[in-house]
Structure formats: C-alpha cells, structure tokens
Amino acid sequence: MRVMAQMAMVMNLDKCIGCHTCSVTCKQAWTNRTGTEYVWFNNVETRPGQGYPRTYEDQERWQGGWTLNRRGRLTLRSGSRLRKLFTIFSNPKMPAIDDYYEPWTYDYETLTNAPLQEHTPVARPKSLISGDDMKIRWSANWDDDLAGAPELAPADPVLTAIRDKVSEKVRLEFEKTFMFYLPRICEHCLNPACAASCPSGAIYKRAEDGIVLVDQDRCRGWRMCVTGCPYKKVYFNHRTGKAEKCTFCFPRVEVGIPTVCSETCVGRLRYIGLVLYDADRVLAAASTKDDTDLYRAQREVFLDPHDPAVIGAAERAGIPRDWIDAAQRSPVWALINKFEVALPLHPEYRTMPMVWYIPPLSPVVDVVRETGEDAEAAGNLFGAIDALRIPVEYLAELFTAGDPAPVNAVLRRLAAMRSYMRDINLGREPDDSVPAAVGMDGETVHEMFRLLAIAKYDERYVIPAAHAEQAHALEELATECSLDYEGGPGMGGSGPFGESSGGVTPLAVENFHLLKERQTADDVTPLRSRVNLLNWDANGGTEGLFPARPAEGAADIDDPGAEAVPRPQGPTDAAGPTGAGR
Amino acid sequence: MTPRPIDIVLWVVIPYLCLAVFVLGHVWRYRYDKFGWTTRSSQMYERRLLRWGSPLFHFGILAVFFGHVMGLGVPKSWTEAVGMSEALYHFLAVTVGAVAGVCTVVGLAILIYRRRTVGPVFRATTRMDKTMYVFLSAVILLGLWNTVASNIFGHYDYRDGVSVWFRGIFRFDLHPELMTQAPLGFQIHAMLAMLLFALWPFTRLVHVFSAPIGYLWRPYVVYRSRESRIGSRAPQRGWERVGSGDRP
Ligand code: HEM
Ligand code: SF4
Ligand code: SF4
C-alpha cells in the first residue's frame, strides 16, 4: 500500500443555476491574458449540449484518454509513444481554434471617434486571432440554456450514445423537459492522460496533493497533451506556444483557502477536501476490463482515512498528521464513500478523474410537479425515477459509462432525503421506512442533509494548509510575479541592511492568511499586521501602509530573529517585496 | 599555397565566431529564457496546410541532416574501408539526397506560403522568424542547387574538399584553401550555413535541441515533489531558500 493524498472536489449539480460566476472569476484570476482569450479553465455547459470545445466527448474523433489494447493493457487512445513522436510535426487530433471559438473584442474606439453622421456608430466585433472584422458564430457557451437546441443538441455526443437505447420520440420530448448545467474544471486525474502524452515530461502530478500542473519552463510546445486530455482541459496558449491548464488555484489551496471558482460559487455547491488513495492500485483499477466497472474500481482505490492500518501507512508515507485529520473530515470522502451520492465524470476515459458530481434530481422533481402530483413524496419520486428512463440514461452516460444502476441509486437517495426532511420541516412524524428503502437510516440522512444543504464554509472546504515551514518554498513553485523582473517593483532583493532586512514573507501567503481570517471571522476586526495596498479593505486603520518614522523603522530593522515577521519597512527599503516602501 | 588573409577571415575566423555564438548562445538562451524555448506551434490557427507542410519539411530536413553527417563527418577512407565503392556511395547520396531535398523544399514552400497568407499565422510571425526563414531557405535552396549542379555540370567531389575543411574546424587542422578552391555555390552555401548557426540560438530553431527522445523511456506519469524542486528557474535574488547554500 502506497498512500497518497489527493485534493479533490465534488459539485452538487442540483444547485447550479448556470450563472457562470465561477467561470468569470476564474478567468479574471488566471486567463485574462493575450494568448488565452479563448481559454476557460472553468466552464459551465448546458446539458444536453455540445460542450466546450464542441463535442469534446466524442473520443472516436478526438482520441483523448486511455483505452485497453488487444492484450488488455492500458494505452493512450491516440496511440503509442512512438506513434506520437512520428506525428509530432503536425498533431492529427488537435482541436483548432474554431472548435473552441474565435475570441473577439469590439472596436469601441469608433464609438467616440466616428465623425458626425446620421446613424449611431456601432462597435464592430474584431477577431483577437486575426485582427480582422468577424462574424460571431460560436462561443464557450453558445448553446447556453438550450439555445438553438433543436439544431445543436443532436450533436451532443452523450445524446448520440443513448440514442440507440431510447427511442427517438422520447428523446425529443426529453429535450423539452430536461436540462441541467455542468460546471467543469480540470479533473486532476489520478492517472492523467495529459501528463502521459507530454513528450517532454513537463506536466507533472504533485506528490503531496495530486494537483496536476504544467511546468512552463519545461513545456516545449509539442501540444500532445491537448489531444491526450479527454476532457480537453489543457489549452494551448497561442501566444507563448505553451500549454496551460487549471491549477486548482494551488497558491490559495496551499494556504488553506478554496479555489476561486468554489469561493465565488453562487450556489455554494462545491466541496473541496482530501482523499487518500493507494497509488499502487491505480494502474490496475484504470485497466478494469468493463467500462461500467470503472466507477466501482475507482472507489476501491480510495482508502478509508479512519482505518488504523491506513493511518499508519499514511504516516509512514510522510503525510502530516493534520492532513490525515483533514482527510477524515473531508466532505469529498463523505459524499463519495459514506453517502455514496457523488459520481465521477466519464470514468470510461480511464484517467481516474478527481472532480466528482452529485447528479441533479431536479429534472425528475420538475416532471412530477408538472403532473400536479406531490413532488416531495417519496413514492412519487421513486416512481418517477424508475419511469423517466431518459434523464437517468443520460446521467448514466455522463457519470457511470452508461450503467443506470448507480445513478438510479443516487437519485433515490436524494429523493429519500428530500421527502424525509420535508416531513421533519413540517413538524410531521418522519417516516423511517423512506431512508430504509434506500439503505440508510434517519441519522445518516440528517447528516447528509446537513452537508448538502446547510454546511458552512469550513465544512464545505476542508483544506489543510501546506506546512508553514514549507510556505516560502511553495510560494515560488511555478508562480512568478509579473513584477519580478530585474529591478522591477516586485523584485525581491537584499535590503540595504543585509540579507534579511525588509519583510521576506511572501506577500501572497501573508495576504491570504489575513484575508482568510477576516472572511471567516464574525465581526470586522482591524487587520492585525502590516497593511498594504493589496490587503487593505477600508476597514480599520492603515498602520504600516506608510513608512514609519525613520527612527522607529531603523530600530525595527535591527530586531534579531525577525526573519518572517511582517513589520513596517524602513524608508530606505524601497526594493522590498511589497514595493510599498516609499 | 599560403592562404590570403581574406580566406582566413572567411573560412577560419567567421566559422569559429559563428560556432562560438551557436554554443554560447544556446547556453545563454537556456539559462535566461527557458520560457521562450518552444516550437511556438501555429497549429491552433491553421491545420490543413500544416498537415502536409510540416511533416514533409521535417522528415526531409532530418534526412538531409543525417546526409550531412555522412557526407561531412565521415571521411572517404572510412566508407572505402567498409567496402563501399565510390559509385555506390554516389548513387545513394544522389537518390536519397534528391528525395529528401525535394521533400524539404516542397515542405518549406508550403510552410512559407502558409506563414505569409494565413492571417493569424502571419500575425504571429516575429521578425526573428522572417530572418530565420530567409537564411534557412537560402541555405536549403543553394544546397539543393549544388547537388544538382555538381552532378550535371562538371564534377566536384565535396568529400575531398568542403568535408575536409569542415572536419578540420573541429580538429584544429585548418584548410581555408580547400574552400577557396570549391565552386562558388558551395562557398555561399557554407557561409550562409555558418551565419544560420549564429542565428540559431535566437530563433525558434532551438526546439531542435529539445527533440523529446526521452519520452520513449520515461514512465507515463511524472510525479514531482513540492520540496525537491522549488520552481524550475533559479530563485530571484533575495528569494533563495533558507539553507540553499549560496549565501555569503
Ligand atoms: C529534431 C526533431 C524536430 C522536432 C520534434 C520538431 C518539431 C517541430 C514542431 C512540433 C513544430 C511546430 C509545428 C506547428 O505546429 O506549427 C516545428 C516547427 C518548425 N520546425 Fe521543427 N522539429 C524538429 C527539427 C527541426 C529542424 C532540424 C529544423 C530546421 C533546421 C526545424 C525547423 C522548423 C521550423 C522552421 C518550424 C516552423 C514551421 C512554421 O512555419 O510554422 N525543425 N518543429
Ligand atoms: S482532466 Fe486534467 S489531469 Fe485529467 S487528463 Fe485532463 S488536464 Fe490532465
Ligand atoms: S458559480 Fe456556482 S452556481 Fe454559478 S455556474 Fe458556477 S457552479 Fe453553477
């Protein structure tokens, strides 16, 4: 048993309102640069729909992920290593910009520059790729809310896959009645096909928390990872010629706060936590013969963090104690293995994805409600889940490689919770036969309800900080402050008083801790340590924002052992990392 | 015949300078611009032409490269020692060389046509790219011309001339006079190639040195520990880790 820890996420699809806040905040944080205009590390797609990039799930066409070869061995679907090297000069299976969409801006200038004329001037769309005028034909969520569905949705690869199973008539009806949103980020897979396809080995999985990252200094632009990832979550920066992907906001997660998409999620539907797994069993699980067994196989790779044998092995593997504690409190572990309501997205790609989903019950509830029946009664819901074959088949195609049984079980559990808790809320006697019908007891249903409906910030996000003694180091792993050029304002350097003069705590770490404290505190307390322009939020004073009087500052600098303690900077220390010294 | 000063400059000084720039330039670029070390693939913009142009050019140029290794690097006496007759060698060189040469030129033509006519690709073309293409095309075209010309009009055996001069550069056994005696086409080809080498480290051609052969042997999934590798470039001054050694 080789225990490893994995930072993982669960999203509760019932709560997603498709507002795209997560996408927008993620974009602001990570990809609002030239070269990544078309890139959405987080995107929200309406299902049924084609997704982004268009029809990425059609692996016959895009050849992403893994497959079993004739001898039953796991290989990349797009071909052997040798084959990859021979096709490196022109990757035959790489989506082009049109498969995502051509990003654009508007020539706003004409609005102010246009000469006096009869008609109001308009800002025309200009392509950010060619610079020319363009016609907007597609975007990352063009088919949002089923827009154009009669024409577009039939190309949904998931629909195509279930077409054989359910009749055409039912399928069309279902397009009218059934819709949900699927927010997607990189899956930070246990068996990442992107990393496996990278010829230069630039994509790596972090041993400590399993986050999959691209080393920008090692990427040589062979662009094989784009093909390798079946979820198409590695993007090619067409300006720098390097691959980029979702980072699981590692600079935030390392200091114990959730990713930007989770933090800003309006529906509060994302859960982040650790999962312990046995790295020795990943390959065997990913090589499971039947696609439909992969969901079970992946769950068997996870280790019970309460099992003393696992705890012992984890400690021997160097996993810190507080990480094991966090794994025990992990909401992700609970949703996957205790309540068994979370399912992996497309396990048949065999990458062992680590962002799981609670399938939506709402389409079923809506149908029942439309018939005028009581949509909260367990009997009605159970009946509808059995009767409504299409939503279940569709969800099964997404989450369990087409096997409806696990999806059915999850929906029944959600329905049971709904009906059981309704009785309690209305002050009625709860009916214990309802949880029993789905193999649970009232206690567990209560617990699950708590986690799904009212869990607070620190229950939804159980993120152990990376160890403080590593904090300096972690700060610099693969991040680069854009101001860090020689002599630039962000340039760290020796202060005039030798090595440790001036503050040396990486700014981000300090700010994150501070902001986290304030975010999770009940009242507005003044900032306790140095205020700078990045962390000042207009509450309280501005101590430290301006340089101290020379005499005080100088006295401070002589303070021995002040290595990592943030403190006001001397007036001469203009080159300190905050750049706020003057 | 004692070489004239101009010959020494052309065939000794300039080659050494260019090769020095080639080697040191790569070291410098690798140290200071790992981020810029990429193919800067333009496949996102256009794939129909690239699909033909790039493989044709690359397979061609790689064959041409190995041809040069044979022709310039292996002395005539060696091939004769293994019993390869002059006629056989010549036949192989001309046929294989011609196929490779034609592939390269056709591929190159497609690539340049694509660079110029496809809007987004042209927009992403830097001044360095253009300069590189001028030298690269000139070298390749002259090379092909030399092969054709030296076989059709009069015979020049470069293995007794250019090759000896070239090997001499690395063995400090200098023969500038051999180049002076070579046909003009060969002289210009060699000189432009030297200049291309000097340009090499500052263009996208650096990608050649990253040819990912190691992929064939490495494990599929790479794990990296946060501690063992802190960033992939050296920390900025003042941000070194505690105990990283290079402190006064
Ligand atoms: C040794 C193995 C080599 C590999 C694996 C390789 C790979 C590549 C790749 C992946 C591209 C990007 C194509 C795209 O998607 O746009 C490229 C472009 C290019 N390569 Fe190579 N290359 C190799 C050797 C060479 C050599 C020896 C030369 C010439 C001396 C060369 C010259 C070029 C040029 C000029 C381009 C730009 C093509 C364009 O106009 O877009 N390559 N190479
Ligand atoms: S989902 Fe993420 S980790 Fe998995 S293969 Fe794609 S890019 Fe790699
Ligand atoms: S912010 Fe939350 S609710 Fe809004 S689209 Fe994203 S995941 Fe859905």
Per residue in A181-192, pLDDT (tens digit) is 999 999 999 999
**Identity at B127, one-letter amino acid code:** R
Q: Which of A4, A90, A505 to mutate to test the interface with B (most CBs of B within 10 A)?
A: A90
pLDDT computed for residue B90 by the predictor:
83
Q: How far apart are the first and last CA of chain A?
A: 55
Mean pLDDT, residues A143-166 taken together = 86
**Identity at A124, one-letter amino acid code:** R
**Could you tell me if residue B64 is inside a domain?**
yes
Per residue in A49-100, pLDDT (tens digit) is 999 999 999 999 999 999 999 999 999 999 999 999 999 999 999 999 999 9
Give the angle subtended at the CA of A547 by the CAs of A541 and A551, to the nearest 5°. 120
Per residue in B77-103, pLDDT (tens digit) is 888 888 888 888 888 888 888 899 999
pLDDT computed for residue B98 by the predictor:
87
Which residue puts its alpha carbon closest to atom 4 of ligand 3?
Answer: A19
* B191 Cα–ligand 1 center, Å: 23
Per residue in A546-560, pLDDT (tens digit) is 666 665 444 444 444
Nearest to B238 by CA among B228, B225, B247: B247
Per residue in A517-544, pLDDT (tens digit) is 666 665 555 555 555 555 555 566 666 6
**Residue A297 CB-density burial (10 A; 0-12 exposed, 13-18 middle, 19+ buried):** buried
**Could you tell me if residue B192 is inside a domain?**
yes
Residue contact A242–B35, C-beta within 8 A: yes
Q: Supply the DSSP string of A481-516, one letter for each residue.
A: -TT-STTSTT----BTTBTT-S--S-HHHHHHHHHH
pLDDT computed for residue B246 by the predictor:
45
**Could you tell me if residue B236 is inside a domain?**
no
Q: Supply the DSSP string of B103-156, one letter for each residue.
A: HHHHHHHHHHHHHHHSHHHHHT--HHHHHHHHHHHHHHHHHHHHHHHHHHSS--
- Please list, in sequence order, all residues whose beta carbon lies within 8 angstroms of the beta carbon of residue A12, skipping any fewer than 6 positions away: A267, A269, A270, A271, A357, A358, A452
Picking from A193-202, A242-251, A364-373, B135-144, which range would have the lowest pLDDT averaged per residue?
A364-373
Which structure tokens are listed for A225? 């990872």
Query: In A281-415, which ranges are E strands?
Result: 302-303, 343-344, 355-358
Q: Give CA A42 to chain center in angstroms.
A: 7
pLDDT band at A414 (very low <50, low <70, confident <90, very high): very high
Residue A409 pLDDT > 50: yes
**Cα–Cα distances in Å, from A324 out to A302, A310, A312, A339?**
14, 10, 10, 20
Residue A423 pLDDT > 80: yes
pLDDT computed for residue B190 by the predictor:
94
> According to DSSP H, which parts of chain B are helical?
5-8, 14-32, 48-68, 76-81, 86-117, 119-123, 127-152, 162-171, 176-181, 184-199
pLDDT computed for residue A165 by the predictor:
73
Residue A345 pLDDT > 60: yes
Mean pLDDT, residues A392-415 taken together = 94
Which residue range forms the structural domain that includes residue B165? 5-210
Residue in chain B nearest A202 by alpha carbon: B222
Q: Which of B47, B231, B238 sits opposite A477 (nearest CB)?
A: B231
pLDDT computed for residue A89 by the predictor:
95
Half-sphere exposure of A331 (CA within 13 A, CB side): 29
Which structure tokens are listed for A21? 């806040």
Mean pLDDT, residues A195-217 taken together = 94
**Could you tell me if residue B228 is inside a domain?**
no
Which structure tokens are listed for B106? 């056709």
B/e letters for A508-544, b = 16+ CB within 10 Å, e = fewer, are bbbebbbbbebeeeeeeeebebbbbeebeeeeeeeeb
**Identity at B47, one-letter amino acid code:** R
Residue A482 pLDDT > 60: no
CA A358, CA A336: separation in Å to the nearest integer? Answer: 9
pLDDT band at A150 (very low <50, low <70, confident <90, very high): confident
Per residue in B132-186, pLDDT (tens digit) is 999 999 999 999 988 888 777 777 888 888 888 999 999 998 888 888 888 888 9
Per residue in A235-278, pLDDT (tens digit) is 999 999 999 999 999 989 988 899 999 999 999 999 999 999 99
| Total-model pTM | 0.83
Residue bearing the bigger pLDDT, A392 or A472: A392
Nearest to A506 by CA among B211, B180, B44, B236: B236
Complex ipTM value: 0.86
**Could you tell me if residue B43 is inside a domain?**
yes
- Please list, in sequence order, all residues whose beta carbon lies within 8 angstroms of the beta carbon of residue A478, skipping any fewer than 6 positions away: A213, A215, A216, A247, A250, B231, B232
Residue contact B241–A216, C-beta within 8 A: no
**Residue B117 CB-density burial (10 A; 0-12 exposed, 13-18 middle, 19+ buried):** exposed
Mean pLDDT of chain B: 87
Distance from the Cα of A206 to chain B's closest Cα (Å) equals 5
Which residue puts its alpha carbon closest to atom 19 of ligand 1?
Answer: B39
Q: How many domains does chain B have?
A: 1
pLDDT computed for residue A153 by the predictor:
86
Picking from A23-27, A84-88, B78-82, B108-112, which range would have the lowest pLDDT averaged per residue?
B78-82
Residue A561 pLDDT > 80: no
**Could you tell me if residue B199 is inside a domain?**
yes
Residue contact A90–B218, C-beta within 8 A: no
Whether A369 contacts A376, CB under 8 Å: no
Per residue in A161-171, pLDDT (tens digit) is 887 777 665 55
Mean pLDDT, residues A219-234 taken together = 96
Percentage with pLDDT > 90 across chain A: 64
In Å, the largest CA–CA distance within chain A is 83
Q: Which of A242, A473, A492 sits opposite B237 (nearest CB)?
A: A492
Which structure tokens are listed for A484? 């860090």
**Could you tell me if residue B238 is inside a domain?**
no
* A42 Cα–ligand 3 center, Å: 10
**Identity at B124, one-letter amino acid code:** A
**Could you tell me if residue B237 is inside a domain?**
no
Residue contact B207–A476, C-beta within 8 A: no
Q: Which of B30, B37, B38, B125 to mutate to test the interface with A (most CBs of A within 10 A)?
A: B38
Mean pLDDT of chain A: 83
**Identity at A21, one-letter amino acid code:** T
**Residue A580 CB-density burial (10 A; 0-12 exposed, 13-18 middle, 19+ buried):** buried
* A23 Cα–ligand 3 center, Å: 8
CATH number at residue B81: 1.20.950.20
Nearest to A11 by CA among A146, A180, A158: A180
